Every structure is written in structure tokens, then in C-alpha cells.
Amino acid sequence: MKSTIRKFFGRNVRVQAEPSALRRSLVVAGLSFPIVSFVSARARAAEGIEKFWKYNTKPDEYLAGVFAGQVPAPLVADTGGKSGSLLQPLPGRLRYWRANGRTAWIFDEIGKAGYAPTTCGFVVKGGAIESASVLIYRESRGDQIGTPSFLQQLVGAKPSGAGIDKNVDNISGATYSVNLMKRMAQVALALDASVPA
């Protein structure tokens, strides 16, 4: 067997193989890397992309938390085909939940055309936002809207003209996401006011 010195990644390495055998082993090693990468990417896809979202709360889990495990039967609000200020239109009929003077609403809204939808939940009580939650955030930037410090700014918000009466601080790099939260809060308040108590 022939011994040669080869330079690999800036280092001298003594190789105990024929040049053709060495070439074959390098080719095999080089080809196996993309296959391993492809297999691991397929495994991640099989697990579900949901695993990689920053926030990933199923609506059923959210409602169980809102109503302390006693989730009421869903009711249906007629939206009249209106979507308020939302960029993504509401369906003509939208499910909501009511118990103890509180209503819970779940929306999907986009920050801007072409963006992935963000799923959020809002609880309204006495004509004001009692709580806001980001259930599923599918974008790569702007997930700060799901932090408790941001969401606390929406608590107590009431309708005011075409928006809400609370000043919500912007987040650098997340302007579209901040605006979508304000739009959803406004629509939750408007729908709560339109359904029978």
C-alpha cells in the first residue's frame, strides 16, 4: 500500500491508500452529506413544521385555559361579510364562545399581503379587552408581540373610532405584527358589541 502526503483543509495528512481509492472515499463522503441533510430535513417535515413556530397553542388548549377547563358550546356570530379593519377577510359566520359575561374570539390575520397568518385569541368582558394571546406565530420576525409585556398593553382597550382607545407601543422590526394585533383587538370588540348578551 502506498503512503502519500495530501493537504486537506490546510493540513498535511498521510494517506494510506491508492489515489483512486482515496478519490472514491472522498466522493462517497461528499455525496453522503447532502443525503444525510435531506433525510434530516424530511424527518423535521414529518414531525410537523408546527414544532418550529415560536408560539404554538392549539385553539382547544387556549379555550380550555380561558374557561378553566369548562369550555362552553360555540356560538355563531354573523359577520355580515364585513372584516372590519382586517386585511384577511372574516368568514360570513364566525364561531365564538361565551360564559360568565365573557366572550372569546379566535382570528387569523396577516401583517401584510403575502405574509403567513398569525392566529390570536382575545377575551372581551364589559366592552373591553380582558386578555389577548398569540396562539400561533408563523413568521420569522416580529414574534415579540406574543410577550406578556406587549400583550398587557391591549388589556382594557375599548373601541374608539376605527381603532382602540389605548396607545400601543411599536416594536422595532415588528410594525406589521403590532398593527395586526391592534386590528384584531378592534374587530373582537366590534363583534362582541354586535352579538346578543
**pLDDT digits over 30-63, tens only?**
554 444 444 444 445 445 555 556 788 999 999 9
Whole-model pTM over 0.85: no
Residues 22 and 118 in one domain: no
Instruction: Name the nearest CA neighbour of 157 among 193, 186, 178, 118.
Output: 186
> Which of the residue ranges 25-39, 53-67, 159-173 would you say has the lowest mean pLDDT?
25-39
Residues 114-145 have pLDDT tens digits of 999 999 999 999 999 999 999 999 988 889 99
Residue 52, all three cell numbers = 418550529
Identify which of 105, 177, 161 has the alpha carbon closest to the alpha carbon of residue 169: 177
The total number of structural domains that make up the chain: 2
Q: How far apart are CA 44 and CA 41, in angstroms?
A: 5
Question: What integer is the mean pLDDT of 146-170?
Answer: 94
- DSSP code at position 49: G
Structural domain including 90 reads 53-194
Give the H/E segment covering residue 28.
helix 19-47
Q: Map grid coordinates 346578543 to a residue.
A: 196
Q: Are residues 132 and 110 in the same domain?
A: yes
Q: Answer yes or no: is pLDDT of 187 > 70.
A: yes
In whole angstroms, give the CA distance from residue 158 to residue 152.
14
92 and 15 housed in the same domain:
no
Q: Are residues 15 and 112 in the same domain?
A: no
pLDDT of residue 46: 44
For residues 106 and 182, state if they share a domain.
Answer: yes
CB atoms closer than 10 angstroms to residue 70: 10
Q: Please indicate, yes or no, whether residues 83 and 15 belong to a single structural domain of this protein.
A: no
